[in-house]
Structure 1
Amino acid sequence: MSRIRLVGGTITKTTGGDHNIYSEGNIVYNSGQAVTETSDTGIKYGDPKDAPVKEVNEAVKEIELITKLDQGSANDKTGTFQDGMIFGKTYHFKVKSYVKDSPKNKLNIKWILRYHSLADNSWKEISLSQKGESLKITMNEEDMCGRFIYIRAYVKDHKTEAELKVWKHNRFRWFDRMQVEEEIKDRTDNNQPWKIDQAGTSLCGMACIFYLFAKEQPAQYKKFAKELFRTGISSVNNFTVKPDTEILEKMVNKSGFPMKTSNMPAVDYITMASTRNTDNPKYKGGDEEFQAINWPPLMTKLSEKFLGYKDVYSKGIYNPVKPLAYTTFDIQKKIDDINEQFNAGYKLILMIDSDLISDVWDVSALDLHWVVLESPITWNYIPGFFTPKQDEIDFKVYTWGTNPNGASRYLKKAISSSHFMNNYNGYIKCK
């Protein structure tokens, strides 16, 4: 507050005791004639002193949380838990004590929420409309998840009066943040996207999509996975992933793996189960086989809208009825077509029967499986009189969390051309 006094005559101040003047800024005297200072004991100069602290009577000293907190991961790789608020739940806060006197009008007590937003790396202050000694608020802001929330109640100064610090869990509250971030780092910074593993689920199509995502767009994958883990919603290109509560509330076992998914890594569950559930809410994030299946229309849609490929085309894909006999021309034509697409820079997601790459060959069951081709297909063929002298097909694919260029890669050994033709269905090509 500023004050200007205009006086036409003389101002005289007489003080019986000390006369002190304090200013946060400068003190300036302007005079048309002389400025005179006199003292019976001398004039002293020194460093400025602080102004006396004004006693505050009506101020909030403490606030408390009445509502019971819920458990979630301690996020320190110990497997332990911590208490915190959860998204969508209503919490009751109340003034516990005052500095001296409580305000006569309780509606003079105001409330503020404060937290650091990761969305734009800034501090947010939210003034609440509720006033009085009691506050009830529903924590339905996704951006507050995985952050400490500072609840303030005050009469005059929100910076110096009561504040309560409360943790708000990540949306996937049972998953350990340190573990999830290590897994994300492996798939991006450490150039190991092949660690993405569907484990004991039927999410092979999702695994292929996220393998290509982490391999080709590591920065976007990292942002997507972290945001989805923390807030429960994330978008890429023209596709938004927002899983149901069953996915978000998935419990973990003592090893930190999601329940009923074998040894599936946490980040793979978060990304793949969430995406599958977004498209098919009947998939509840467990070992449901049929609900988890990734049908060809979904794979082409995700290739375009999620991964952002402009040129997406499917060929063959699903043909359970195959010819009983093949000519060498038929085989070579199919191999040449695949290699032509691969050499032209297309990413190829192959639909096969899992017997094609398994150690157990040509069993009767029909186990459709998606893999990503990671090398051209070679066919070493030398004809013979009744049977070929040599008939070996070899190639590399990503699948089941295995390095396609490692010692335990798939294929584990070369296969015959008939084995290839009996278990190969078709491809989706993307560029």
Structure 2
Amino acid sequence: MSRIRIVGGTITKTTGGDHNIYSEGNIVYNSGTSVSLTSDAGISYGEPKAPPVKIVNEAVKEIELLTTLDLGSKNDRSGTTQLGMIFGKAYHFKVKSYVKSPPAIITDIKWMIKYHSLSQNKWLEIPLSTKGDSVTITMNDEDMCGRFVYVRAFINDPEKEGEYKEWKHNRFRWFDRMLVEDEITERTDHAKPWLVNQSGTSLCGMACIFYLFAKEQPDVYKKFAKELFRTGVATVNSYTVKPSIEVLEKEPFIGGKVNVKFPTHYEKGKRVNMPLIDYITLAGTRNTNNPKYKGGEEEFQAINWPPLMIELSEKLLGYKDVSSKGVYNPVKPLVFTTLDIKNKINDINVKIKLGYKLMLMIDSDLIDDIWDTSSLDLHWVVLESPVIWSYKAGIFGAKQDEIDFKVYSWGTDPNGASRYLTKKITSTHFMNNYNGYIKVK
């Protein structure tokens, strides 16, 4: 609002006490002759002072939440929990008190939400259409997960009136954010993608996919993994992963003990959980494609069939050259010659030399003879070296017949001391347990 006064004569202002002038803009004095400032005590200059706060009688003072909050991780490595809001639940907020008195017209009370968006890296203020002394808000915005949400009720000034601050849990609310981020850092910044571990599940194909993801595209993997953990949905290239509530709500621990319904494995005789970030990515991706897999140790539902592996290689990982050979028919010939063996090994090594990454479909006995020797335990691994065949023919059989190669599997460093293959194998063992590959580049 502006005001202009035109006076033909003199303006005289006499103030018994202090005389203060405040302006949000400039204060300009113009005179046809001179501008005089006089004082009995002297004239001083300094930084501008803020105007006194205007007390508004009709203003919201406090807001209260009437809906029960839910537990989730405290996100501080302590293993403890904290209360907060969860995605998809409706929360009822009500004005608790006013600066002096309620407004004459109750619908003069307005509401808004404020939070800092990680996806946009800025503060967002969202006005609500509801007016009055209470509001019900359904927290169905994924971007608010893992953030503090500020609910405001106001009549005149949203910055200075009633505000209620509450934490909104990450979508995987039982998972400790600090532990999750530690695991992501190990797989990317510390260059240990081989830590990806399927644990006691049949998610070996997913493990191969995310091993290559973390190894070949660590920054993209990092962003994808963090977003999936926080919001419950993440998209890379043309593939969106959005697991169901059964996966999102799985608890790694119950009463401080390992949850037997959570994927586990044994390390040094102790039962431990599947790494949190691997559950989020591996189980989350498999469940997206097959909702019958609920994030436990369901073996058949978790299996990663070749068409899914090809689809993920193209749409999730973004490889342009993807094809398979031999993976669809694990029934192998009973009789084969040294030429058959040589051709199969040469085919693999040529692809490695051409820069392809190979995901091999094998019987798990090929790399670790601990499951069984009589049945098919189909398993995906990533080949990390050429296949070396040391062979010398003899009169009554081979004088030397040893095959060696390196693979990623089961959360183990392919170049480490306890790597797979656990020991060199014969060509017969290789032919009986090797099926084929998917090549990607």
Q: How far apart are the structure 1 equivalents of 2:76 and 2:35?
A: 68
1:86-165 alignment runs, 5 A limit:
86-165=86-165
1:413 matched residue in structure 2: 423
Q: How far apart are the structure 2 equivalents of 1:19 and 1:341?
A: 88
1:12 is displaced (CA, Å) by 4.1
Q: How far apart are the structure 1 equivalents of 2:257 and 2:324?
A: 39
Aligned-CA RMSD value: 1.8
- Code of the aligned partner of 1:17: G
Q: How far apart are the structure 2 equivalents of 1:261 and 1:35?
A: 83
What is the DSSP-based 3-state SS (H/G/I as helix, E as strand, rest coil) of the residue aligned with 1:219? helix
- Contact kept in structure 2, 1:318 and 1:351, CA below 8 Å: no
Change (3 A) 1:104 1:355: same
1:13-412 alignment runs, 5 A limit:
13=12, 15=14, 17-18=16-17, 20-24=19-23, 25-35=25-35, 42=40, 44-47=42-45, 51-253=51-253, 254=256, 259-262=261-264, 263-360=273-370, 363-412=373-422
- 164-173 or 249-258: bigger deviation: 249-258
Change (3 A) 1:192 1:36: closer
Q: How far apart are the structure 1 equivalents of 2:331 and 2:26?
A: 92
- Contact kept in structure 2, 1:316 and 1:425, CA below 8 Å: yes
- Code of the aligned partner of 1:78: S
Change (3 A) 1:256 1:97: farther
Q: How far apart are the structure 1 equivalents of 2:371 and 2:249?
A: 39
Q: What percent identity do the matched residue pairs reach?
A: 67
What is the DSSP-based 3-state SS (H/G/I as helix, E as strand, rest coil) of the residue aligned with 1:282? coil
1:257 is displaced (CA, Å) by 7.3
What is the DSSP-based 3-state SS (H/G/I as helix, E as strand, rest coil) of the residue aligned with 1:268? helix
1:43 is displaced (CA, Å) by 6.4
Q: How far apart are the structure 2 equivalents of 1:37 and 1:355?
A: 97
Change (3 A) 1:428 1:46: same
What is the DSSP-based 3-state SS (H/G/I as helix, E as strand, rest coil) of the residue aligned with 1:179? helix
Change (3 A) 1:329 1:188: same
Q: How far apart are the structure 2 equivalents of 1:127 and 1:258?
A: 45
TM normalised by structure 1 equals: 0.95
1:362 is displaced (CA, Å) by 6.8
Change (3 A) 1:59 1:32: same
2:267 matched residue in structure 1: none
Change (3 A) 1:84 1:362: closer
- Code of the aligned partner of 1:280: N
- Contact kept in structure 2, 1:362 and 1:419, CA below 8 Å: no
Change (3 A) 1:56 1:290: same
- Contact kept in structure 2, 1:397 and 1:410, CA below 8 Å: yes
1:166 is displaced (CA, Å) by 0.1
1:44 is displaced (CA, Å) by 3.6
Change (3 A) 1:15 1:420: same
Q: Which runs of 4+ in 1 moved over 6 A?
A: 255-258
Q: How far apart are the structure 1 equivalents of 2:332 and 2:408?
A: 25
What is the DSSP-based 3-state SS (H/G/I as helix, E as strand, rest coil) of the residue aligned with 1:140? coil
Change (3 A) 1:377 1:132: same
Q: How far apart are the structure 1 equivalents of 2:325 and 2:13?
A: 100
- Contact kept in structure 2, 1:282 and 1:291, CA below 8 Å: yes
Change (3 A) 1:49 1:403: closer
TM normalised by structure 2 equals: 0.93
- Contact kept in structure 2, 1:84 and 1:169, CA below 8 Å: yes
1:399 is displaced (CA, Å) by 0.3
Q: How far apart are the structure 2 equivalents of 1:348 and 1:321?
A: 20
Q: How far apart are the structure 2 equivalents of 1:49 and 1:313?
A: 72
- Code of the aligned partner of 2:263: T
Change (3 A) 1:313 1:150: same
Gaps of 5+ in 2: 265-272
Q: How far apart are the structure 2 equivalents of 1:361 and 1:152?
A: 60
- 102-111 or 392-401: bigger deviation: 102-111
What is the DSSP-based 3-state SS (H/G/I as helix, E as strand, rest coil) of the residue aligned with 1:62? strand
Q: How far apart are the structure 1 equivalents of 2:297 and 2:371?
A: 25
Deviations 1:328-358 (A, max 9, x none): 0000010000000011110000000001111
Change (3 A) 1:267 1:11: same
Deviations 1:298-340 (A, max 9, x none): 0111111111111111000132322111110000010000000
What is the DSSP-based 3-state SS (H/G/I as helix, E as strand, rest coil) of the residue aligned with 2:437? strand
What is the DSSP-based 3-state SS (H/G/I as helix, E as strand, rest coil) of the residue aligned with 2:369? coil
Q: How far apart are the structure 2 equivalents of 1:280 and 1:149?
A: 33
1:193 is displaced (CA, Å) by 0.2
Q: How far apart are the structure 2 equivalents of 1:257 and 1:305?
A: 33
- Code of the aligned partner of 1:22: I
Change (3 A) 1:258 1:185: farther
- Code of the aligned partner of 2:16: G
Q: How far apart are the structure 1 equivalents of 2:18 and 2:403?
A: 100
1:53 is displaced (CA, Å) by 3.6
Q: How far apart are the structure 1 equivalents of 2:100 and 2:129?
A: 25
Q: How far apart are the structure 2 equivalents of 1:14 and 1:390?
A: 112
- Code of the aligned partner of 1:261: P
1:135 is displaced (CA, Å) by 1.1
- 58-67 or 358-367: bigger deviation: 358-367
Q: Give the number of aligned pairs.
A: 428
Deviations 1:366-394 (A, max 9, x none): 10000000000011111122221111111
1:175 is displaced (CA, Å) by 0.5
